């Protein structure tokens, strides 16, 4: 399943467990995602910035709570606490859908959009925090690509399952199946943590010994870590630019799709096809390209790939903003994000301390990401719809991609300095 040259013998079991956990997580998510898109497609455009803003404020409330939980819960149990919490909510929502009156449909759409958007950010953030905690930088450069491929395969399977059986099973049963997949993923997470720590008792002792430091770090430690560290601020800026550019494309794509494809079922099929193309392309990149790219090109260049792809795509949209062009841009940028940027950016956290791997990373992956979403959606609502007909928005985004490339270059240099400083200490 995995390239033998890049994975050592003892690591194969670890990668298999991590791959399976990510596979089940993203299969469950891709079962849920078409439900969200189906809900949102019927909401007016002016509702979307409000929903993004609600997500942002929910994140502001949730992150301090998560910071407290991560301070008092042993790290080996943190993923279980987070996922059990969300699965319980998912089951409750399924009951609401199954027994609730049809008059609640609009509120169900709004609640589910907020819930799923919050869930996937926390879920993936916790997953990658565990990965960054269990594996070293050198291991991350070799293993994160194949591990991330589990998400792609899970997405393909989940999307195919949702496309073929959603109408037959109904919404409530789809929600229940996704909940089961998330719980099954936790069994693999337990196996992963147990086998890795059993093979390296020193690492296990480090994991346990820092618990007191985490308890003393405070509820808002993650925000404080980001504010104090130039390296973490650069990561936050990089993540914010990913979200900002992606949201601009998303807003224009959904608006154009609603006008070009009035029927909801046809729109759902269109978005499902984009997801499928994205996941297939991402799978190729993750298995064949990302490992050699990070090894030979360096992290700074690899992190620059996505902003360069966005720059090219914005030039394309400057000449044509048709649904086909927007669909192509959506696929290309998401392949760049999932196939190249996700595994590369997670390597950035392998050189920070354990508290930052959980608390600061969670702030960046949630509040920063959703705040950028909210800003981009408000910007598009203010000028995007009026300017989209003239093709102004894509050209306005080109300077943003230039700044993004500069941030990527600085991040590569910053990580190298941290590595060299740690080597001097040792």
Dump pLDDT digits (tens) for 72-91. Answer: 777 678 888 889 999 999 99
Give the range among 25-39, 104-118, 193-207, 241-255 with minimum mean pLDDT.
193-207
Give percent of the chain with pLDDT exceeding 90: 15
pLDDT in the model for residue 423: 45
Q: Average pLDDT, stretch 321-343?
A: 87
Q: Average pLDDT, stretch 277-299?
A: 78
End-to-end CA distance of the chain: 36
Q: Average pLDDT, stretch 39-48?
A: 72
Chain-centre distance of CA 425, in angstroms? 34
- Alpha helices, H only, 289-391: 290-296, 299-319, 323-335, 342-347, 354-355, 361-363, 369-379, 385-388
The enclosing H or E element of 357 equals: none
pLDDT in the model for residue 420: 67
Give the range among 40-54, 58-72, 86-100, 410-424 with minimum mean pLDDT.
410-424
Residue 310: pLDDT over 50: yes
pLDDT band at 51; cut points 50, 70, 90? confident
376: its two tokens: 């981009």
Domains of the chain: which residue ranges? Answer: 11-425
pLDDT in the model for residue 332: 93
pLDDT band at 203; cut points 50, 70, 90? very low
**250 vs 405 pLDDT, higher one:** 405
pLDDT in the model for residue 166: 62
Concatenated DSSP letters of 262-316? -SHHHHHHHHHHHHHHHHHHHHHHHHHTHHHHHHHT-HHHHHHHHHHHHHHHHHH
The enclosing H or E element of 102 equals: none
pLDDT band at 268; cut points 50, 70, 90? low
Q: Which long-range contacts (CB under 8 A, 24 or more apart) does 159-166 make?
A: 159/30, 159/34, 159/272, 159/275, 159/276, 159/279, 160/276, 161/27, 161/31, 162/30, 162/31, 162/33, 162/34, 162/35, 162/272, 163/34, 163/269, 163/272, 166/34, 166/35
Q: Give a three-class secondary structure readout of 150-189.
A: HHHHHHHHHHHHHHHHHHHHCHHHHHHHHHHHHHHHHHHH
Does the CA dihedral 59-64-67-68 come out positive or negative? Answer: negative
d(CA 4, CA 8): 7
**44 vs 51 pLDDT, higher one:** 51
Residue 192: pLDDT over 90: no
Name the superfamily (CATH) of residues 11-425: MFS general substrate transporter like domains (1.20.1250.20)
Dump pLDDT digits (tens) for 351-400. Answer: 777 666 667 777 787 778 878 888 888 777 776 555 555 567 788 889 99
On the 0-12 / 13-18 / 19+ scale of CB atoms within 10 A, 192 is buried
pLDDT in the model for residue 171: 75
pLDDT in the model for residue 387: 56
pLDDT in the model for residue 103: 64
Residue 13: pLDDT over 90: no
d(CA 348, CA 231): 9
pLDDT band at 315; cut points 50, 70, 90? very high
**307 vs 4 pLDDT, higher one:** 307
Residue 336: pLDDT over 60: yes
Q: Average pLDDT, stretch 232-245?
A: 90
Predicted structure pTM score: 0.71
Mean predicted lDDT score pLDDT of the chain:
79
Nearest to 269 by CA among 132, 419, 184, 163: 163
pLDDT in the model for residue 24: 95
pLDDT band at 265; cut points 50, 70, 90? low
Contact 247, 372 (CB under 8 A): yes
pLDDT in the model for residue 386: 55
């Amino acid at each position: 399943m995995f390239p033998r040259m890049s994975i050592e013998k003892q690591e194969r079991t670890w990668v298999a467990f991590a791959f399976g956990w990510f596979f089940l997580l993203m299969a469950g998510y891709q079962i849920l995602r078409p439900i969200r898109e189906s809900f949102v497609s019927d909401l007016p455009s002016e509702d979307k910035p409000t929903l993004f803003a609600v997500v942002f404020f929910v994140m502001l409330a949730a992150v301090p709570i998560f910071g407290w939980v991560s301070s008092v819960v042993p790290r080996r149990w943190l993923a279980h606490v987070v996922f059990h919490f969300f699965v319980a909510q998912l089951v409750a929502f399924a009951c609401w859908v199954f027994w609730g009156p049809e008059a609640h449909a609009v509120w169900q759409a709004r609640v589910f959009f907020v819930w799923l958007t919050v869930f996937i950010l926390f879920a993936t953030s916790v997953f990658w925090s565990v990965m960054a905690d269990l594996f070293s930088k050198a291991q991350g450069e070799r293993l994160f690509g194949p591990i991330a491929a589990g998400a792609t395969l899970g997405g393909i399977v989940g999307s195919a399952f949702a496309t073929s059986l959603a109408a037959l099973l109904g919404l409530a049963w789809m929600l229940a199946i996704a909940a089961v997949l998330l719980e099954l993923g936790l069994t693999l997470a337990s196996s992963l943590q147990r086998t890795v720590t059993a093979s390296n008792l020193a690492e296990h002792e480090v994991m346990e010994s820092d618990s007191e430091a985490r308890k003393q770090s405070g509820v808002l430690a993650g925000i404080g870590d980001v504010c104090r560290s130039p390296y973490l601020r650069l990561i936050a800026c990089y993540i914010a630019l990913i979200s900002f550019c992606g949201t601009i494309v998303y807003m224009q794509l959904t608006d154009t799709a609603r006008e070009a494809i009035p029927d909801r079922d046809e729109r759902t099929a269109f978005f499902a096809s984009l997801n499928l193309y994205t996941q297939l392309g991402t799978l190729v990149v993750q298995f064949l390209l990302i490992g050699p790219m990070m090894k030979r090109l360096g992290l700074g260049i690899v992190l620059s790939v996505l902003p360069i792809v966005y720059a090219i795509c914005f030039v394309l949209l400057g000449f044509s903003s048709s649904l086909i062009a927007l669909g192509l841009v959506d696929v290309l940028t998401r392949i760049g994000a999932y196939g190249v940027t996700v595994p590369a950016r997670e390597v950035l956290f392998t050189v920070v301390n354990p508290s930052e791997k959980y608390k600061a990373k969670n702030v960046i992956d949630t509040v920063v990401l959703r705040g950028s979403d909210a800003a981009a959606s408000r910007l598009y609502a203010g000028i995007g719809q009026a300017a989209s007909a003239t093709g102004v928005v894509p050209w306005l985004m080109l300077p943003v991609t230039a700044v993004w490339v500069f941030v990527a270059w600085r991040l590569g240099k910053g990580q190298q300095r941290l590595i060299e400083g740690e080597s001097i200490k040792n």
